[in-house]
Amino acid sequence: MIYVTCYFQVHQPNRLRKYSFFDIGHSNFYEDEDKNAAVLRKVAKKCYLPANRLMLELIEKHKGRFRISYCLTGTVLEQMRKYSPETLESFKQLAQTGCVEFLAETYNHSLAFLFSKDEFQRQVRRHMEVIEQEFGQKPRTFRNTELIYNNEVASSVEEMGFSTLIAEGADRILGWRSPNFVYQPEPSAKLKLLLRNYRLSDDIAFRFSNRDWSEWPLTADKFAHWVQDLRGNGETVNLFMDYETFGEHQWEETGIFDFLRNLPERILALPDFGFGTPSEVSRSLAPVAKLDVPDYVSWADVERDLTAWKGNHMQEDALNGVYSLEKPVMETHDTELIEAWRALQTSDHFYYMCTKWFADGDVHRYFNPYDSPYDAYINYQNVLADFERSLKG
């Protein structure tokens, strides 16, 4: 059996309201709830609800042979509870099929691992608890924020009891190897590593509607043929992407839902091909080799490194500022203060400060609610200054 493993990331950040220097000391209300609600409801209407209905239809149509996985961050779960409970209910319906695996990550979609292993573990445990509470599953597979990974991440994840970890199949960590096999991290004894096939994943997530792409239009038949061509050079084809690909990044008018509707049938028609969740693939396949990854890798931008969040002095200053508050925040034992601090850790805040351009510029502009990275930095620092003031009492 050659597995096609589909994993979808579901995340929305808690956006900060416009917070000026003159607000410092006068208002400790930081989030733009109207914006959060509007975006969540828009994406639910365009993506989450129609995509979930289609996924449920496909699972039922193929009698459980179509199997998928999701990771919903704590922030998006909170927003669904507040602004679109029907969306959360639709994910619960998927969970009840027995054909969907829910993964764990940091609750706040944070960069905590890079700054505090203790905070990282606290957020992961909290996320595991909410996934079990909402979907009745204890996660066995982990994905770090933005697929940030190296040997050290693998060691921590294995210590926390996970059996499977997913990461980016970047060329610089694979060399001549293929991402279409199960690997084992160099420092691990049992943990298995699944790597994203970024070419096939990005064909759907980024290139699907690009009329200048030599392969446009992409059909389910064509994509299934590409998957079939991997026979003999792999045991698992890992298609990992943002769930917002369906209906939000790639609008319904592009034909993305028709593509998704037809793909499982085309894959299942291939001899010896089928779908599996990350845990199922991990249980079924043995690692072909150890993989040594001393340097950090992620799934962001063309470099697939950390520069989307730690690429300039503004980002470094903001990150060091918020994580320097860990000890005094935790010593307060004040739930509201701790929650506010964690909300300020969400990786999106630092992504908005990115000054990279050329190949990645359009991507950063699409997701950035600020007029410039400098505006994002100033706004964040104003909020952080007020938070630190509140912390001191």
Q: How far apart are the first and last CA of the chain?
A: 61
3-state secondary structure 126-190: HHHHHHHHHHCCCCCEEECHHHCECHHHHHHHHHCCCCEEEEECCHHHHCCCCCCCCEEECCCCC
> Coil, strand, or helix at residue 2?
strand
Q: Which residues contact 57 (CB under 8 A, 6 or more apart)?
A: none
> Could you give the residue numbers annotated as active site?
146
Nearest to 200 by CA among 231, 169, 176: 169
Whether the Cβ atoms of residue 226 and residue 272 lie closer than 8 Å to each other: no
Residues facing residue 183 across a β-bridge: 193
**Alpha-carbon torsion 312, 315, 317, 320, what sign?**
negative
Give dist(CA 151, CA 113) in Å, integer: 12
